[in-house]
């Protein structure tokens, strides 16, 4: 096949066609009418969620040089305020970036990232005011609050300062939204004079960038779905051009970090779950043949090495085993060390704000479905641990809930983990409402973290479960590979197995079971709903990637070419036939479907608005039931929904009102 398929709904792909705007507006109006019966419930859930949030809050200040950096939030303000204190964490506050001020003139505004210069004088930041992820870049002098005159548009999120605090590196995006060029900008100069540092010629690769914790280097990374190459920029000599750390090999992913005397290179070459090599440095450049670099951390078949955090005198390894994330502290910079102990069997770790390279301690965050994010600091050499902060959740009583880990059995015998939270006194009668969440793509892991909004479901008797299906990375890279390309259907059958397990064990029943996923998780929702519509009572599909065949046949759409290594290139017959066999739009049939809520973003660059629109239109043509089928398009946002934290909560309340209303109508007043 060489061209995009056409059908009687192809007109919905015409962004400038007035009929399209009319269709989306009519669908929004229909959704508002149908959801009118749940308005009181939606308002109640929104008030509940908001009451559980400390609107006035502050992160744990993190030391960097003479300052302590943090962010805080204020009552009634939807965005973060970034600030610092000189000398000690409770010193006089200096605000250097107030997202509320940046967002004030805009209905939508997301600050994508910011970077403070090494001398603490400037802050560079990027922001997006449409949701299309093309950012505007600005630079501000912190002491005066004055914005510098230069304006840079269509930038990506990543920023990095050179050691001189006058040279800023940024990444530009092309018309297809691909981050493809790195530029060097001199503070105070016209951006038209910016020097091109690196251009990625291959359309399947996109660029990212990060400064090393030591601030000696800047790493540029070019990545496709299966290949990653690192380039080294000398932050002390910013005029030097970048050099590749270890070249580029198809199918090999590696990432370099500064360890002081050398580079540590995390690589999957001859190591499916990654190992670490030591690359010696000479004049700020990698030395020798990568094949001769000594191994620092060996490959372990049953442990995925997700990330590496090097410091001057110790390393931290982020590991994953049996679906659970672990942190290993390695004093003396050796692979030996100790894992941080935790009592909860269903939980996750996140790395905290660790801004200094020369330190003897490490901050991390522990969270579980029943434990709010909790910041600890551990002394690397001794393991001595200090609790710095636990996120305050007004009214939370953890004893009212229980978290569990279940295992489902797939069609081929594989064991699939399920994480869940439910009321502590829940009886497994088979009649409890349940929401099963899934994703299953790109090797992404769904972490069993605390989510304050979920409590509004659980307090109404719901079970909230996460299906850690193949296509994700929860059980290592092999778990990802078993759910992609010509094995993609495994993701869907795994999810169905998880649903059946929850039913078999008495947690729920088909009429009480709701399912939810976003983006590639929305594809999962569409596929399993076509395969087993009778198994589910409700579906919430957020910005769903459901018109897979048409999208993957159209390389003019942003990001399509980058996706070939995850889904396959349908211009090849075997991939065309396989994608056609599961693409939700192409497999809608004449049958009864569950209640469905579908969301979209008009400015979404990742999943074009017309995918959910066409899917809903096709469902309206063919479904044989009269259950709810709702499409809600945000006409001013993109892939991630509202930027305002309170509007994001309203979106959650809207979705949960739908779920409670159709799965547990007798509990509307609970």
Angle at 12 between CA 532 and CA 574, to 5 degrees: 55
Considering only CA atoms, which of 535, 547, 542, 540 is closest in space to residue 591? 535
120 catalytic residue (yes or no)? no
Catalytic position from the list 59, 212, 519, 643: 519
Whether 503 and 429 have beta carbons less than 8 Å apart is answered as no
* Residue corresponding to tokens 């990432």: 255
Whether 39 and 63 have beta carbons less than 8 Å apart is answered as no
CA dist., res. 573 & res. 579, Å (int): 10
CA dist., res. 19 & res. 612, Å (int): 16
CA dihedral 123, 128, 653, 610 (to 10 degrees): -160
Would the CA dihedral through 287, 289, 290, 295 be positive or negative? negative
**In 147-194, which ranges are E strands?**
152-161, 167-173, 179-186
Catalytic position from the list 604, 634, 643, 644: 604
**Inter-axis angle of helices 610-622 and 18-34, to 10 degrees?**
70
Considering only CA atoms, which of 145, 104, 156 is closest in space to residue 122? 145
Whether 255 and 269 have beta carbons less than 8 Å apart is answered as no
Q: Which residues have C-beta within 8 Å of that of residue 208, sequence separation ≥ 6?
A: 156, 158, 171, 179, 220, 221, 223
DSSP string for residues in 72-100 = EE-TT--S-EEEEEESSTTS-EEEEEEHH
CA dist., res. 373 & res. 155, Å (int): 32
Residues forming a β-bridge with 541: 517, 598
CA dist., res. 334 & res. 81, Å (int): 39
Whether 316 and 298 have beta carbons less than 8 Å apart is answered as no
Considering only CA atoms, which of 256, 249, 246, 354 is closest in space to residue 296? 256
336 catalytic residue (yes or no)? no
CA dist., res. 358 & res. 71, Å (int): 23
CA dist., res. 509 & res. 431, Å (int): 6
Catalytic position from the list 185, 234, 639, 643: 639
Name the DSSP class of 303.
B
Distance separating the N- and C-terminal Cα atoms of the chain: 54
Whether 602 and 634 have beta carbons less than 8 Å apart is answered as yes
Name the DSSP class of 470.
B
**In 109-213, which ranges are E strands?**
110-116, 122-128, 135-141, 152-161, 167-173, 179-186, 195-199, 206-211
59 catalytic residue (yes or no)? no
Residues annotated as catalytic are: 519, 604, 639
């Amino acid at each position: 096949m060489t061209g995009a398929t056409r059908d009687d709904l192809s007109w919905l792909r015409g962004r400038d066609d007035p009929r399209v705007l009319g269709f989306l507006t009519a669908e929004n109006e229909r959704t508002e009418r149908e959801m009118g019966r749940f308005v009181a419930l939606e308002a109640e859930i929104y008030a509940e969620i908001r009451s559980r949030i400390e609107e006035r809050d502050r992160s744990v200040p993190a030391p960097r040089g003479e300052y302590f950096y943090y962010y805080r939030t204020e009552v009634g303000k939807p965005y973060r305020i970034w600030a610092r204190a000189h000398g000690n964490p409770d010193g006089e506050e200096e605000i250097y970036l107030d997202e509320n001020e940046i967002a004030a003139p805009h209905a939508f505004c997301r600050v994508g990232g910011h970077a403070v210069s090494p001398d603490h004088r400037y802050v560079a930041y990027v922001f997006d005011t449409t949701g299309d992820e093309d950012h505007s870049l600005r630079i501000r002098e912190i002491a005066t609050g004055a914005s510098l005159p230069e304006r840079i548009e269509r930038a990506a999120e990543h920023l990095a300062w050179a050691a001189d605090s006058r040279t800023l590196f940024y990444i530009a995006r092309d018309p297809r939204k691909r981050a493809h060029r790195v530029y060097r900008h001199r503070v105070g100069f016209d951006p038209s004079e910016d020097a091109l540092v690196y251009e990625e010629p291959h359309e399947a690769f996109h660029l990212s960038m990060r400064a090393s914790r030591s601030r000696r280097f800047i790493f540029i990374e070019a990545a496709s779905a299966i290949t990653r190459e690192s380039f080294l920029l000398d932050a002390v000599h910013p005029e030097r051009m970048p050099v590749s750390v270890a070249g580029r090999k198809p199918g090999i992913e590696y990432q370099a970090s500064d360890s002081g005397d050398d580079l540590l290179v995390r690589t999957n070459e001859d190591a499916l779950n990654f190992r670490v090599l030591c690359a010696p440095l000479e004049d700020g450049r990698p030395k020798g043949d990568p094949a001769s670099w000594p191994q620092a951390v060996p490959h372990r078949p049953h442990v995925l090495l997700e990330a590496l955090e090097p410091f001057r005198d110790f390393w931290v390894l982020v590991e994953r085993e049996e679906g659970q994330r672990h942190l290993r502290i390695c004093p003396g910079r050796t692979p030996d060390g100790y894992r941080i102990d935790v009592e909860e069997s269903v939980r996750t770790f996140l790395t905290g704000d660790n801004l200094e390279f020369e330190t003897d301690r490490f901050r991390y965050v522990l969270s579980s479905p029943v434990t709010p994010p909790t910041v600890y600091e551990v002394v690397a050499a001794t393991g001595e641990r200090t609790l710095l902060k636990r996120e305050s959740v007004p009214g939370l009583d953890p004893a009212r809930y229980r978290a569990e880990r279940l295992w489902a059995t797939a069609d081929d015998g594989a064991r699939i983990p399920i994480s869940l939270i439910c009321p502590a006194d829940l009886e497994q009668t088979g009649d409890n409402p349940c929401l099963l969440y899934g994703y299953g793509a790109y090797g992404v892991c769904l972490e069993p973290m605390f989510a304050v909004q979920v409590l509004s479901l659980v307090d109404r008797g719901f079970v909230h479960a996460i299906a850690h299906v193949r296509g994700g990375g929860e059980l290592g890279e092999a778990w990802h590979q078993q759910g992609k390309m010509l094995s993609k259907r495994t993701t869907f059958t795994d999810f169905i197995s998880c649903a059946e397990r929850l039913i078999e064990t008495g947690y729920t029943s088909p009429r009480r079971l709701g399912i939810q996923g976003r983006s590639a998780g929305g594809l999962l929702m569409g596929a399993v709903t076509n395969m087993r519509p009778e198994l589910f009572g409700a579906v919430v599909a957020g910005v769903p990637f459901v018109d897979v065949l048409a999208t993957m046949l159209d390389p003019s759409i942003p990001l399509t070419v980058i996706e070939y290594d995850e889904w396959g290139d349908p211009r090849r017959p075997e991939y065309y036939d396989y994608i056609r066999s599961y693409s939700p739009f192409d497999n809608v049939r004449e049958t009864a479907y569950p209640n469905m809520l579908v969301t979209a973003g008009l400015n979404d660059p990742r999943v074009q608005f017309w995918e959910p629109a066409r899917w809903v239109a096709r469902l309206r043509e063919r479904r044989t039931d009269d259950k709810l089928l709702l499409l809600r398009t945000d006409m001013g946002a993109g892939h991630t929904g509202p930027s305002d934290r309170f509007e994001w909560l309203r979106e959650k309340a809207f979705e949960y009102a739908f779920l409670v209303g159709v799965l547990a109508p007798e509990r509307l007043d609970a």
